[in-house]
Structure 1
């Protein structure tokens, strides 16, 4: 039992270990507390869509389970085959369809949490409305295991769409990306589930090292390419979730006609079946898998006002001139302002990170953005927290940490700065 383990020993809760900021990795001699064997689905109510499961359940397995009842998990990640729901909750993971289903703060109905003193805090409700006192569950969503260990979760699942439409567009500029996004919000409205973008460098890398090749031998309809097969400066992946295929396709066709007629999109393709939709998504999800083939990779997960997202990529590219072969590329959830900025170089230059990282964080701070959009702070970004949070806010966080974990035994050295 987790409550019997947590007493005096410093420990690091660990789920699928898919994070990017070292949040589930020991810094010194902490004990790793793996939750992988806590993988039971406790209940599912097909009337309300409320799922109760232990923290070690893999996200894909949960989605497969609720799919039997025509529901889906409100969270969808590229790492869904290995990440665990407890880790998702502890990092407040965002994912591909936050645009439609919202952040986890809105989907989590309740939690079971083991506190630093070994007490079990039972907040495991399945109610949509519970206004009795302070909503304590929100303290633990996104706290990265520093305030308590999440051992079970109840989460509101969404009805599974019977109609899924996917389109892939080639665009000439980032300004066109934002214009198409604006038109998608207005014309697709309630069925818009995802709006992703990637730049030309992402496309080249994904199709060169991934399993999808939209530029060569595979037919355009199979590979999810635009019809011309050329490389465009930018791409947009638009997905809808609905319950009426004819209605949804009519809306999508009107949207496509509008963006083509106005010159915002130069070319595109619509998935005609599940296989083609999967191939389109492989282009977007294959970027992170392909990046290690290019050399050393430096990853930054930030939030920015939508019009500024790719400007950061362009300015980082200017900073890379002194490192031969280094390349900056950008992709992400443009629908919710989340940019994945990646820098790849043929080798790991010792001074590259030391120069680029402060530049990125300061740029994001000056743009009133966030240095961590969906992967938390962990140990890698803890000292950079002041770029996003005020000293007063950090002091409040410290006070909460000291109250709930006075001995600092829960995931020490994470999230909060050393000073």
Structure 2
């Protein structure tokens, strides 16, 4: 190994924490470069070894120089989370290009007791893909090959680092589509989607990602490669091992390949953008849609006027129907445009006659539909500009869905700048956002125990589609029984006895 690289690594290792802290203050980018997570949340480092020069030599031999990231400026994008709330202190990113390299890396890390944080597109909101201390970041960004598409069965085989939007573009040219659609599709990786069992806007139609994964290739903590890459829709031979890793957030093994059941691209897509007086009316309109539109509904989204107000404030987008207290978005996907249009028109007129909705617009062209969907997709981009936003991804029974937002608005009072809610009404998934001027431990302690206690009382879930990660782990015992958690710990100890995979997360 050349001396220059060793010296540079040594220098980074010695000064990373102090330099990054000074950089944040002097450039006045406190929001862009948050405080270190270990300091903000007072976390104790686990009993893992620190990087040494001979470790770096080994990784360079396995990956080559281009497979390592050690430059201070380049490291920052891997160390800071998508929400710009969390920040690790990793001094090394490894970028493998093949499963065999991942196997060698994990075998070495397991033997030398080096902690590993696996990262895809780093778009999660729970801190599951961001290091807490100096864990080695294992980035899957170079494992981005589409391996095969069986167009007869519509099964796509690809590597874990494939960007979701790229997969969708590839399938679109073949009259197929991914069964999942996310706001972060331009940067999130399919491996990360699988490891968090991501939901998204079309879960109502196509179900959880878990139900669309036919096979996985996974590297275990000790480096063994577990091949569960069956592409059959039905295979009942023994334990369904692949399900262990779907939703386990990289704590049990590293997903390297996946076989995904894709779906036909619909011939007729339409979008309804509706305004209503209150959430009670929204529920009536939704219930009517379930009966009137039934088999062609592919997505049902809701957003309140505070959300729309924020989007209008920070983007060049605006409501196509004017301002209303609450909005409902219904997407339909079918095979007969005339049939779908007739059903939609009857539904729309009936909702107006019954006063379930006050106004609305139906979009049929691709351009119109994309423009209306962009309002929903720009929400996340907007609230980054609205101060420090506490973001909560919860599931609730529908009667309590929006009452929860109203309750939190009263609870926060003048302590917050804005409390707003939007989400996937079709599956009861609410995204509750609380915007404040700046982060403080006091405001965090004021918000979170109350939210999660109320979710528990309402028989909801503290994580609908984004996992537990780092931020929600201490609240897991509120929702899961001690038997559930002990079983999870037993699985973790069996699969990763040294605890090197994504420490400080989930458990």
TM-score of the superposed pair, with normalisation by structure 2: 0.78
**Structure 1 ranges of 4+ moved more than 4 A:** none
Give yes or no for contact 1:107–1:155 (8 Å, CA) kept in 2: yes
Alignment equivalent of 1:248, drawn from 310, 315, 340:
340
Structure 2 Cα separation of the partners of residues 286 and 243 of structure 1: 29
Question: Which structure 2 residues correspond to residues 19-418 of structure 1 after superposition, within 5 A?
Answer: 19-214=124-319, 225-226=320-321, 229=322, 231-323=323-415, 326-416=417-507
Post-superposition Cα deviations, 1:305-345, rounded to whole Å, max 9, x if no partner, equal: 1111111111111111242x522100000100000000012
Q: Report Cα offsets for 1:342-382 as digits up to 9, x if no partner.
A: 00123335422211111110110111100001111111111
Shift of 1:210: 1.7
Distance in structure 2 (CA, Å) of the matches to 1:166 and 1:347: 37
User: How many residues are treated as equivalent by the alignment?
Assistant: 402
5+ residue gaps, structure 2, are 1-100
Distance 1:32 1:381 in 2: 21
The offset of 1:407, in angstroms, is 0.5
Q: Is the 8 A contact 2:308 2:318 kept in 1?
A: no
Question: What secondary structure does 2:194 align onto?
Answer: helix
Range with greater deviation from structure 2 (24-33 or 165-174): 24-33
After superposition, the CA RMSD in angstroms is: 1.0
Residues 320 and 326 in structure 1, CA contact (< 8 A), matched pair in contact too: no
Secondary structure at the counterpart of residue 293 of structure 1: coil
1:222 matched residue in structure 2: none
- 1:5 matched residue in structure 2: 105
Q: Which structure 1 residue ranges, 5 or more long, are not aligned? A: 215-224
Most deviating of 181-190 and 140-149: 181-190
Q: SS at the partner of 1:166?
A: strand
SS across alignment from 1:6: helix
Conserved 8 A contact 1:320-1:327: no
Residue 217 of structure 1 corresponds to none
CA contact (8 A) 1:371 1:387 kept: no
In 1, the alpha carbon distance for the partners of 2:314 and 2:433 equals: 16
Partners of 1:53 and 1:153 within 8 A in 2: yes
Determine the C-alpha separation between the residues in 2 that align with 1:154 and 1:363.
39
CA positional deviation for 1:209: 1.1
- Contact residue 218 and residue 254 of structure 2 kept, 8 A: yes
Moved more, 204-213 or 166-175: 204-213
Q: Distance in 2 between matches of 1:294 and 1:64?
A: 32
Q: Secondary structure at the match of 1:294?
A: coil
Q: Distance in 1 between matches of 2:144 and 2:441?
A: 41
Tell me how far apart the structure 1 counterparts of residues 459 and 199 of structure 2 sit (CA, whole Å): 19
The CA distance in 2 between the partners of 1:177 and 1:347, in whole Å, is 33
